[in-house]
Amino acid sequence: MLYLVDQQRTGAVKEEIRRIDPAYPVFVDAILDGVIQGDLYVDHRDHPCVYFAGTTTGIYYVAGKTEAALSLCSTFIVDVYKKQKRENGRFTLFSANPASDEMMKKCFGSQLNEMQRHAYSYDLTSPDLIVPNQDEMIKRTNEQVIAASKVFPSSYYEAYWGGVDHFLSNGVGVAILNGEDVVSECVSIFLSEKRVEIDIWTDEACRGKGLALLAAQQMISICVEKGKTPHWDCDVHHAASAKLAEKLGFQWTKTYRLFYASR
């Protein structure tokens, strides 16, 4: 059985999760900080060993101190999956470590797809970022940018933020324009009080021109001004993304597994 965590315990819970997984996902903080809608559950009210977080849009995270403790909570996770499947909803789960990897594999077998991803974090104590002045090309994400976007349209913000208005009030984003066309974008897929996870895209026809670098530099600069640590995740096979992250000054923090259902 899992118990819903009271919002007042946010600070203590973050530290408890960090002891298991020092590089846990930004969206967990976003839930705990009340930036996006979601819940956090634990296996014991006073001395938890398992933490299970989930957004209302079907993105989940599980961390446990031991595989034995995780196995006792596996029925809860399977029930969440079954509910999402019945309702044709999303089920994407971020696994904290090998213990939770094994629990997920034992519970689901081949029912779920798997991928490995690298996680990176930006060091706020790094030397000041030099950001080229390209004001005529760069625009902060607004309703017009979203309407023109090929990759981050309104449905993207519905899926990750619960709506465009909520993103525009709380999120961060920049776009590079070529005339009226959006050719590169960098947005906060998740954001909490102290952290921002970056999502980035450049039009295939415009790649190799440094636009992704420019967009990311602008984004990092905004995050640093706000006192928020930028984070970057990418598939382990996406060498170009990993190379760009390192070029920007991000440091690798971990490689983790993602489990997800086909829809």
pLDDT in tens, the chain (263 residues): 899 987 667 788 999 999 999 999 999 999 999 999 999 999 998 899 999 999 999 999 999 999 899 999 999 999 999 999 999 999 999 999 999 999 999 999 999 999 999 999 998 877 665 565 555 589 999 999 999 999 999 999 999 999 999 999 999 999 999 888 999 999 999 999 999 999 999 999 888 888 999 999 999 999 999 999 999 999 999 999 999 999 999 999 999 999 999 97
Q: How far is CA 176 from CA 134, 222, 228, in A?
A: 9, 15, 22
pLDDT of residue 190: 98
**Cα separation, 55 vs 38, whole angstroms:** 4
Q: What angle do CA 130, 133, 139 make, to 5 degrees?
A: 115
pLDDT of residue 132: 56
pLDDT of residue 263: 75
Q: By 3-state DSSP, what share of the chain in percent is helix, strand and coil, each rounded to 5?
A: 40, 30, 30
Q: What angle do CA 37, 188, 119 make, to 5 degrees?
A: 95
pLDDT of residue 11: 80
pLDDT of residue 203: 93
Q: 55, 63, 56: which is closest to 2 by C-alpha?
A: 63
pLDDT of residue 129: 59
pLDDT of residue 1: 81
pLDDT of residue 136: 59
